[in-house]
Amino acid sequence: MLDKMNPWKNKNNSSILREQKNAIKEQMIPEHVAIIMDGNGRWAKKRALPRIAGHHEGMKVVRKITKLANEVGVKTLTLYAFSTENWKRPKMEVDYLMKLPEEFLGTFLPELVEENVRVEMIGYKESLPSATLRAIEKAMRETKDNNGLILNFALNYGSRAEILDAVKHVLDDYKNGIINEKELNEESLSTYLMTNGLSDPDLLIRTSGEIRLSNFMLWQLAYTELYFTDVLWPDFDENHFLEAIGTYQSRQRRFGGV
């Protein structure tokens, strides 16, 4: 029976999603969305599964959200996939997390190519296992001419180390006469960061109810709108993503002005 009071009840999920997508597209879409994908371990624990099952489920969500972000016109999606602190986890879990980019790209790279997605990475490449790095570099090579969404993996990434390295690099360039004191400002310092060439995130989403930044893009998030949700990353779906964008669209950004 049709519910006259609540027309949404009469529609199936895909038509609601389509209408939500269209509504979202009528307003300002955040150019750069960054996500701290948290809660994989808890998702698995709730189901009495090993933690790695949560990470595997989380990988499938990466595919869904990438596709949707591209569709609604997000230009950059940065995903915190592994932090410089995550090496402290049990070796078995670290090994598994390091295999995920290979598995993900091994399966979905053709789809990303077809969808015009460009794969990028920020983080310390040197200490990644060679197979992981090979998979990422292959994806970067094969998608370098794509001009749709930039899918930017933060892999072995830590923001304080990034800022410290930028400062060291500036000092070197100063000593070598490449940059002087006058030329050093917020804009030029940004070019020394791993995110050089990318805009700062407009929206940061963190899942799983944790309200912290965990050493993620500390410089770049200065004026970003923050969105925290209790939903665990493996449960995060298209509706949750559109809800986060809707909330972003309802915020007033003032960048320190009035």
Q: Catalytic residue numbers?
A: 38, 86
Strand-pairing partners, residue 95, are: none
What is the torsional sign of CA 123, 125, 131, 135? positive
Is 85 among the annotated ligand-binding positions? yes
Helix (H, G, I), strand (E, B) or coil at 150: strand
Residue 104 in the binding site for ligand FPP (CB under 6 A): yes
Q: Give, as one character, the DSSP assignment of residue 10.
A: G
Number of residues near ligand FPP (by CB under 6 A): 19
Task: Indicate the residue among 153 and 248 with the shorter CB distance to ligand FPP.
Answer: 153
SS (H, E, C) 75-126: CEEEEEEEECCHHHCCHHHHHHHHHHHHHHHHHHHHHHHHCCCEEEEECCCC
Residue 30 in the binding site for ligand FPP (CB under 6 A): no
Residue 119 in the binding site for ligand FPP (CB under 6 A): no
Residue 86 in the binding site for ligand FPP (CB under 6 A): yes
Interface mask toward ligand FPP for 190-219; x: CB under 6 A: ------------------x-----------
Task: Indicate the residue among 139 and 193 with the shorter CB distance to ligand FPP.
Answer: 139
CA distance 42 to 158: 23
- CB under 8 A, 24+ apart: contacts of 223-227: 223/253, 223/255, 223/256, 224/34, 224/200, 225/30, 225/251, 225/253, 227/203
Binding positions for substrate:
39-43, 51, 55, 83-85, 87, 89, 206, 212-214
Binding positions for Mg(2+):
38, 225
Binding positions:
38-43, 51, 55, 83-85, 87, 89, 206, 212-214, 225
Q: Applying CB under 6 A, which residues contact ligand FPP?
A: 37-42, 55, 58-59, 62, 81, 86, 97, 100-101, 104, 153, 208, 233
